[in-house]
Amino acid sequence: MSFGFRIKVSGTVGKNELERALSKVQKKHPLAGVRVEMTAGKKQFITTENVPDIPLCESNVEEADWKTILKKELYRRFDIFKGPMIRVFLIQGKDTSDIVFIFHHAICDGLSAVVFLENLFLFLAEPGLLVNPYTEAPIFTKLIKKDTLDIIKGKEMPGWLTNREIPELKPPRKEPPPKPDFALHSWSFAEEEANKIVSFAKKNNLSVHAVLGAVLLRAFSLELKEKNSFKGVLQSPVSFRPFMVDEAKDYFGLFNGILTADVDCSPERTIPEIALEIYTKLKAQLDNYEPLIGYYFFNEYFLDGIEDPELFFSNREDEPFNYDFSLSNLGRVQMQKKYGNYEIEEIYGPIFSAIRGEIVISANTHQGRMFFTCIYDKDCFDYTAGSAIMQTALNIFKDIAG
């Protein structure tokens, strides 16, 4: 799985300047410049040796637009044995520049991508800024706070780990990479509109994330009521950074898990009622250190006794999705409005490769504005149906904003 970001910048971003800044970020964060090697013992490891620079492709608005590039690049596989697992596209317009970033999800999460982007613009704004590289790639299980780690280690191993049976492994199936026909919607709320949504959440003692989830689940249930009978399931990536040492906030890596909440979206229920159910269920899981516990045991013990990890993973069956959509909400991203002569107008992302029939909605708040995308394969439903869902959600947002 890959994901992307699109940043719209006032004025012109020079290709040479961007390449120099990318080179510095690649030197600063080890995982921004890695490739995979396979050992004779059929184990994989990552290395920064002999990894080329992050590739940058330049075009203009007459040749390509950011959505077209994203939809194509989100299903184009990385060569993980060559590296790096990031690629960048610069689209020059008359008065603005669009920069599209594609990240392999194996090396980082959405919040880490924001760390990468912020560092990039710092180097763009100050070309003479020296690189202070991290000496080694961060390892999630080594960064958990001691008191949290003590709690995790005091838990029993999950049943899916202790009771697992390793089947006879078959050679992997040769299948061509998927080429989904993505639909990609985007919209934003001005600062005044965003503040009203935040005020609505505070007034009802809810999180903004729960309100966003409630509105979107309501829209899906209204437009697809014959399909889901008003029963909605929300998936939400969750950051593990609150459970990690303080310096981890500046690290580039993969530090997130997944939560789900099944919710009654019946028409007679209000948005605050739906949002409260989402908030309560997600908070209860976090308070019980879910899914942190599962991720810790997975990272530490899942491959114990597995002689051929790659063959083992290739034999695992894809599990069917048990949720309506995934809401990847970064909240307020810690990026400035201006970096030297570069002014950021818009940030869309993280936009994930919904390659197996998934529907992914992203949200982030930058300088008071909220930015959203919704991506799905057109096999889920056609573009007209997707547009209707998004319009219904926008109408509900307008209602709750007063």
pLDDT, tens digit (0-9, with 9 covering 90-100), for 269-304? 999 999 999 999 999 999 999 899 999 999 888 888
Per-residue pLDDT band at 163 (split at 50, 70, 90): confident
| Bridge partner list, 217 | none
Which 3-state string (H, E, C) describes 234-303?
Answer: EEEEEECHHHECHHHHHCCCCCEEEEEEEEECCCCCCHHHHHHHHHHHHHHHHHCCCCHHHHHHHHHHCC
Report the chain's mean pLDDT, rounded to a whole number: 92
Phi/psi region, residue 305 (left: phi>0; alpha: psi -120 to 50; beta: rest), is left
Q: What is the pLDDT of residue 32?
A: 97
In this prediction, residues 102-120 reach a mean pLDDT of: 97
Q: What is the pLDDT of residue 388?
A: 94
Alpha-carbon dihedral of residues 30, 110, 281, 145, nearest 10 degrees? 20
Comparing 236 with 226, which gets the higher pLDDT?
236
Check whether 162 has a pLDDT greater than 80.
yes
Check whether 117 has a pLDDT greater than 70.
yes
Q: What is the pLDDT of residue 157?
A: 87
Q: What is the pLDDT of residue 83?
A: 94
Cα torsion 266, 271, 273, 278: sign: positive
Check whether 166 has a pLDDT greater than 90.
no
Check whether 58 has a pLDDT greater than 70.
yes
Comparing 119 with 310, which gets the higher pLDDT?
119
Q: What is the pLDDT of residue 229?
A: 66
How far apart, in whole angstroms, are the C-alpha atoms of residue 365 and residue 339? Answer: 18
Comparing 5 with 231, which gets the higher pLDDT?
5
Q: What is the pLDDT of residue 225?
A: 67
Per-residue pLDDT band at 230 (split at 50, 70, 90): confident
**How many CB atoms are closer than 10 A to CB 211?**
25
Q: What is the pLDDT of residue 65?
A: 93
How far apart, in whole angstroms, are the C-alpha atoms of residue 318 and residue 252? Answer: 28
Burial 334-362 (b: 16+ CB within 10 A, else e): ebeeebeebebebbbbbbbbbbeebbbbb
Q: What is the pLDDT of residue 102?
A: 98
Q: What is the pLDDT of residue 309?
A: 82
List pLDDT tens digits, range 346-398: 999 999 998 878 999 999 999 999 999 999 998 888 899 999 999 999 999 99
Q: What is the pLDDT of residue 79?
A: 94
Q: What is the pLDDT of residue 402?
A: 74
Q: What is the pLDDT of residue 49?
A: 94
Q: What is the pLDDT of residue 226?
A: 62
Helix (H) or strand (E) holding 19, with range, is helix 15-28
How far apart, in whole angstroms, are the C-alpha atoms of residue 145 and residue 244? Answer: 5
- Enumerate domains of the chain plus CATH numbers: 2-126 (3.30.559.10), 151-156+181-334+349-400 (3.30.559.30)
How far apart, in whole angstroms, are the C-alpha atoms of residue 35 and residue 44? Answer: 10
List pLDDT tens digits, range 182-226: 999 999 999 999 999 999 999 999 999 999 999 999 999 888 866
Q: Which residues contact 84 (CB under 8 A, 6 or more apart)?
A: 26, 32, 33, 34, 35, 51, 52, 53, 54
Give 193: exposed, middle or buried? Use CB within 10 Å, 0-12, 13-18, 19+: middle
Q: How far is CA 371 from CA 68, 183, 200, 215, 343, in A?
A: 18, 17, 18, 15, 17
